[in-house]
A = this chain, B = another copy of it.
Amino acid sequence: MIVTAVSDHRAATFDQQELVQKLAAPNDAEIASLDAWWRANNYLTVGQIYLQGNPLLREKLTSEHIKPRLLGHWGTSPGLSLIYAHVSRLIKQTGQQAIYLAGPGHGGPALVAAGYLEGTYSEVYPKVGLDEGGMLQLFRQFSSPGGIPSHVSVTTPGSIHEGGELGYVLVHAFGAVMDNPDLLAIAVVGDGEAETGPLEGSWKGVSFLNPAHDGAVLPILHLNGAKIAGPTVLARKDPAEVRKLFEGHGYDVLEVEGEDLPGMHHRFAAVLAEAWGKIRSIQTAARGGQWDGTRPNWPLIIMRTPKGWTGPEKIDGIKVTGTWRSHQVPLSGVKGNDAHMAELEKWLRSYKPEELFDATGAPVAQIMDLNPPGELRMSATPHANGGLLTRDLDMPDFRDYAIDVKVPAQGRAESTRKLGELMRDIYTRNPDRFRLFCPDETNSNRLGAVFEVSDRGFMESVNDEDVKISNTGRVMEVLSEHNCHGWLEGYNLTGRHGMFATYEAFAMVSASQTVQHGKWLQEAAHLPWRAKVPSLNILLTSTAWRNDHNGFSHQGPGLIQVVLQQRGDVARVYLPPDANTLLSVADHCFRSRSYVNLIVIDKQPQLQWLTMDQAIEHCTRGAGIWEWAGNDDGQRDPDIVLACAGDVVTMETVAAAQILREKLPQMKVRVVNVVNLMTLPRPKDHPHGMAETMFRELFTDHVDVVFAFHGYPGAIHQLVHGRPDADRFRVRGFIEEGTTTTPFDMTVRNKASRYHLVMDAINNAKRLPAGASELKAWCEAKLAKHEQYVVEHLEDMPEVRDWSLGDWAEH
């Protein structure tokens, strides 16, 4: 499928220098072809913003040809198109596999136009043909209800990068080329986007990129000077300072500037050739054994062209091109303004559409000749439709990593260690398509078994005291949630598998990336031509419930809440209570496609509940009654249901049930554990939602449910809405610390929540046997004793700390 590119070692023997020289000096015919392609792309861009009729300007432009609402972003578009044209020429001459990521994604019409000129758009959307009717369709659909968004988006062939929320173009590009040695990612960074934190934090991708087993990213910083309403920092700094900045980031800085034509075509061709030559030299050396192992200085191009280049210089006497005024729609109020109408027509005709499109409206041969063949077209590269390239992971049998659980809750183990062992063997079996991404916490998260088979990847210098870190490592640790998350997205969207493991509280740092990636997957599901990609797997450890010593900043189960808002066809939330359920869940997630899988489990030693067979059955159902923990013996009518989702709260719930069984045996208690949170909503609200019959089997339809939840209580309130008598769900969950606790709150500073749960059960039970009020008093006393003990001994009292099911006895 993939055309063999020059990165093949054997191909490196041809005279690269000669090819670079040829690339650097296009002849007149090539310049004419480049310029025609670029003018056509600019024409199609302006057309998308303004026109709903008369697409080829076969008649004089009038009001009825103008869209009722003018939307879109012109300013960045001509620069994006110029780059595209020149990269296409490079691809055609070299066979280089390339993918184009438009950081200034607002320049959507430029990339849509490029896909159209390459023919890909019509292949994917047959209604948008390469003729006059298709062109009109192309124009009308842009930024219209039921049409396409104004950005480079999931609907844009060739894109793996939604350009709406700025900041992620480099992380996506670096992720795309990891373990993808033949791929070159052209990553255009807008100078507006360059101001965002995530983008500034992503230049350092080069400190993690191995020139032998990874591909290359060519960042093109497009300084057109302005954002929506004013200048940008980088555009207004002394250029010498800007150069230093990027040299400081580790790049070999190449600069190109101007607006003269064809001068800029010549200069851009030269600088692109130079950059490509440097990239190929780095790769050839690294792959040919001539590399000293130090981080290469990869090239970066700084391109300075006027914002809105080729658009109207002035409008109503005010300068537009080269200023922020060209950011969106330079000519507004066209309908009913003859001067503006004339100006727009002049602008459109300046590209000479009659030379660019033939009588049928198809691009002329001079334009089509620039396009690379087939899948080398950047709009058609399978790397940007990574599902096409996705190969299943070669998975070991997760049951081989099982903890041998003879009796529930006898021993403690660090559950995530087992996941680490599973991932170790996934690494071994899949040396080119699996990576773990983690902000410096792989060992801390007990996933360190992966280091038995792979170092951390790092291209800066290492020394003798460093452990498991080298330039060939493929475990990715960088203290940036944005980088980790974004790299994995890029890796996923190009068809490879992985996991992002991070601190629960700090998962909110990259929450917007989780949201946006989920949206991408949701939209992609509607496009038949987009093949499903590996799921985004997020593991949250160091959970809220274990961070009382770290304090409030480290406690926050917010990401669960964020994922819950995503659509059911994408969002998955799992709360495995022990190692065997974690293994079963992880196996499922690694095999799945196009989901956001959120797995929450603590890394500390914890009680183990289920045998592997039980775990598999439990995870398959997603929720179930733990008969051995309760005493209702399958009765349809327990006095209370104690439900739980999450590891620590499961322990507290089982402990509470144990207390009730021992102290108040006449009371019938049922324990329900939920491992797949999405079984709780109704089937119409989520595809995993359990059928109402099963819901009634677990929770009855009238007995009160005391629900101990890992996250914010509101999540459960929201999930059971619409279930039979949802008001009977009394949720204890994580609450922010404070003075005004409500009756059903449970705070992480008090691990002895079991006593609260017992009191809740008594307070809400249908029938109360004798001894209930005495038991409540007993619980109150325990809580008081525990609080006092903790202050004195700085840890939980032993009967809480060391509790296990079998050892429980009267204290």
Contacts and interface: CB of A to CB of B under 8 A. Distances in A.
Interface of A: 52, 67-69, 71, 140, 143-146, 148-151, 153, 162-167, 192-193, 195-204, 207, 227-233, 236-237, 241-250, 319, 322-323, 440-444, 456, 458, 460-463, 465-467, 469, 477-483, 505-506, 508-509, 511-512, 515-516, 518-519, 522-523, 525-526, 548-554, 556, 558, 561-562, 564-569, 684-685, 687, 712, 714-715, 717-719, 721-722, 725-727, 735-740, 742-743, 749, 787, 790-791, 793-796
Contact of A736 (B150, B166, B512, B565): B565
Contacts of A153: 551-553
Contacts of A552: 149, 153, 162, 164, 519, 522-523
Nearest to A244: B248
B244 A247 contact: yes
Contacts of A249: 245
A544 to B, nearest CB: 12
A197 B774 CA distance: 55
A138 to B, nearest CB: 14
Nearest to A571: B736
Given A233-B204, A479-B192, A479-B193, A509 B140 contact: no
A463 B566 CA distance: 45
B460 A231 contact: yes
A71 B736 contact: no
Contacts of A322: 465
Contact of A790 (B145, B727, B736, B790): B145
Contacts of A565: 558, 561, 712, 714, 736
Contacts of A440: 192, 227-230
A441 B192 CA distance: 12
Given A69-B795, A552-B522, A199 B201 contact: yes
A316 to B, nearest CB: 14
B562 A558 contact: yes
Contact of A228 (B199, B319, B444, B482): B444
Contacts of A71: 549
A794 B151 contact: no
A523 B737 contact: yes
A182 to B, nearest CB: 27
Contact of A794 (B144, B227, B479): B144
5 contacts: A149-B551, A151-B553, A319-B465, A509-B512, A714-B719
A561 B322 CA distance: 40
A442 to B, nearest CB: 7
Nearest to A727: B726
A469 B235 CA distance: 15
B460 A549 contact: no
Nearest to A566: B736
B250 A241 contact: yes
Nearest to A557: B565
A742 B568 CA distance: 11
A175 B245 CA distance: 24
Given A237-B250, A443-B229, A561-B561, A164 B739 contact: no
Contacts of A229: 440-444, 477
A52 B167 CA distance: 47
A231 B462 contact: yes
Contacts of A193: 479
- Leading 7 A-B pairs by shortest Cβ distance: A149-B551, A245-B248, A164-B553, A197-B201, A714-B718, A236-B460, A244-B248
Nearest to A718: B714
Given A727-B727, A794-B69, A195 B742 contact: no
A515 B237 contact: no
A721 B725 contact: no
Nearest to A443: B229
Contact of A469 (B140, B165, B231, B511): B231
A540 to B, nearest CB: 14
Contact of A233 (B192, B478, B512, B727): B478
Contacts of A793: 68
A522 B737 contact: yes
B230 A477 contact: yes
A737 B200 CA distance: 31
B196 A479 contact: yes
A550 B149 contact: yes
A467 B203 CA distance: 31
Contacts of A568: 740
Contacts of A550: 143, 149-151, 164
A713 to B, nearest CB: 8
A725 B721 CA distance: 11
A149 B443 CA distance: 23
